[in-house]
Amino acid sequence: MALMALTEENFEKTIADNEIVIIDFWATWCGPCKQYGPIFERIAENVTDITFAKINTDEQQQLAAQFQIRSIPTTVVMKDEIVVFQQEGVLFHEKLLDIAEKAQALDMDMVRETIAKQEAAAQQ
């Protein structure tokens, strides 16, 4: 699948319409982002059953704030509209592929059950 640029305008629809979305939060002035960009793009070209997207934190400050981005690059994986992974820093090819494979295998019923238990415990 082609690499997408996510904006406030297309974010909700993209997340709703795709089971798994892997997002690279980046900026043009960021040195590590320049190192990570080609890695992220190569994986996006080769893993066709996952949506890969980039969010420019300078242009999409609201989305960066929504995800509490403090350092870039940051990679976020969403499955069924739930954040299942978030990590700052450059992820190298093998690690990013591993994360993509684990996202595909992730049992979302178990994730939702865990979230429900955490929310119930927080209310006590």
Task: Please say if 30 is a catalytic residue.
Answer: yes
17: how many CB neighbours lie within 10 A of its CB?
10
Task: Please say if 33 is a catalytic residue.
Answer: yes
Whole-number Cα distances in Å, 57 to 20, 94, 104: 21, 25, 26
**Of the residues 20, 33, 63, 78, which is catalytic?**
33
**Of the residues 30, 84, 97, 106, which is catalytic?**
30
Strands (E), the chain: 4-5, 20-26, 51-56, 74-79, 82-88
Catalytic (active-site) positions:
30, 33
